[in-house]
Amino acid sequence: MSTIGAYFRLARVGWVLVREGVVSALPSQGLPPSVGLMKSLMEPLARKRSLKQARSERLTRAVDRLGPSYVKIGQFLATRPDVVGVDWAVDLALLQDRMAYFPTEAAKAAVEGSLGRPIADLYSFFGEPIAAASIAQVHPCTIGDRQVAVKVVRPGVRQRFAHDIESMYLLSRMQERFVPSSRRLKPVEVTRTLEQTTKVEMDLRLEAAALSEIAENTKGDPGFRVPQVDWERTGRDVLTMEWIDGIKMSDLAALRAAGHDLERLAEVLIQSFLRHTLRDGFFHADMHPGNLFVDAAGTVVAVDMGIVGRLGKKERRFLAEILYGFITRDYTRVAEVHFEAGYVPAHHDVAAFAQAIRAIGEPIHGQPAETISMARLLALLFEVTDLFEMQTRPELILLQKTMVVVEGVSRMLNPRFNMWKASEPVVGAWIRDNLGPKRVVSDLRDGLKAAVKLAEAVPEIAVKTEKFHQELLHMSEHGLRFDPETAEAIGRAEARHTRSGRVALWIIALSALYFAFTLG
């Protein structure tokens, strides 16, 4: 029944996208003939008013009809231009995460249920909501004479998302099965990443932990900080944190009126982001202007840590070398790093890949900073990665998306901002500290730790190896056999899959008729 429900929900999504003209906006070039025919048959069903709107407006209207889960899905897909294309990623990034408020009484009940204490014991004042998004809304509150911001998860959002993600899994499996060229992009893995990141975002204890970790990492950094967490009043469904009195970075007029240096703010922002990425391997991955404030002292304060990214030590080294290679125009080294990291299959030619990288990097140089389009550079990068069979790296895609957003905010503050010039001090210093003699010492220390752990694990490995050897001998003599429960489960799964396949087309056809008569 769960699979059947997913088919119905997927059919409804398709119908809404058709009616709001989103399907009509899809490019016909490159589509399989059968898909192109289906698209042309669906186009007359779009609302006439939708066809007069821009594609981003059609997307917004469709997502509004589909509900909060699809706002989050759309915003996540905006971080994956390798999957949806750069142009569509730009449109999806414009989706506004502003939803209707849910009642304050429901918010209070959620807080009391999460913390196990009455509101009166927790807060001296609990105000009406001032901001609402797809996952949670924010209330201004006070504890004694201290003002705080209280974030509360939207009631029922977990159940709604669990149902909607089933449809996404169904669609991604169909994509892998019927569109072989998409398998390189791993749509099922993309959906799994979406599911995991959204589950993390819906547990406000994890957001509090992210705020705490970044606060520790940045306590000595100039010009940047995050709000302090009130752990006593934080749980799965509620996050209490310091109230930020500041100016949103999107309000340029107010920033100028307050006497802030916009050029300095642009440099602080990009250099802080690069420090978090390279030094800490942990970065705020949703740094749009609505999540960035400037306080009275001119410090950048970042809020809303629901989406964060991590990079391992090896990935940070490769990233630094790639960035530094672009800055210094050493395209051969950039290409070699891609091969060393395993991003590009070894059967390709390094020199040919370096030539392709040069086509991406050269537009950065020899032009005024304000004419360099990072979105265009990313488009070229994804074309190159497709040409050289580069496998999708979700952590790098998230990093690239965040870098584009941060650069966009910096350029909003300073139209002549040159991200590459501003990046050089941080990237160059990290290269000198981590890719010289210090790297050798660090690698030796890490290798010694690994050798000690391996030595400690040797007895357990020996026992497991002996057990595995005995099992192999038993299988060679008696064959591989399933126990009755396993055989029965396989039979049930096969039968269910066959039934689902037979009824899928009927479900989609009937539900399309239903939505045509009831939702049109």
Q: Which two tokens stand for residue 336?
A: 């070699």
DSSP character at residue 103: P
Residues sharing a CB contact under 8 Å with residue 164, sequence separation 6 or more, in sequence order: 9, 67, 69, 70, 73
Residues sharing a CB contact under 8 Å with residue 315, sequence separation 6 or more, in sequence order: 281, 341, 395, 396
Beta strand 131-132 with 136-143 is: antiparallel
Three-state SS for 166? helix
Beta strand 238-242 with 146-153 is: antiparallel
Contact call for residues 373 and 381 (beta carbons, < 8 A): no
Residue 461: how many CB atoms within 10 A of its CB?
A: 10
DSSP lists the bridge partners of residue 301 as 225, 293
Distance CA 105, CA 102 (A): 9
Three-state SS for 256-316 is: HHCCCCHHHHHHHHHHHHHHHHHHHCEEECCCCHHHEEEECCCCEEECCCCCEEECCHHHH
DSSP character at residue 341: T
Phi, psi of 283 (to 5 degrees): -140, 150
Three-state SS for 108-159 is: HHHHHHHHCCCHHHHCCEECCCCEECCCEEEEEEEECCEEEEEEEECCCHHH
From residue 77, alpha-carbon distances to 166, 194, 229, 396, 474 in Å are 16, 9, 30, 14, 49
Contact call for residues 185 and 392 (beta carbons, < 8 A): yes
Beta strand 282-284 with 131-132 is: unpaired
DSSP lists the bridge partners of residue 309 as 283
Residues sharing a CB contact under 8 Å with residue 87, sequence separation 6 or more, in sequence order: none
User: For the packed helices 157-178 and 187-201, what is the interaxial angle rounded to 10 degrees?
Assistant: 170
Distance CA 309, CA 316 (A): 12
Active site residue 286: yes
From 91, 164, 286, 304, active-site residue: 286
Q: Tokens 């730009």 — which residue?
A: 90
Three-state SS for 418? coil
Question: Which residues does the annotation mark as catalytic?
Answer: 286
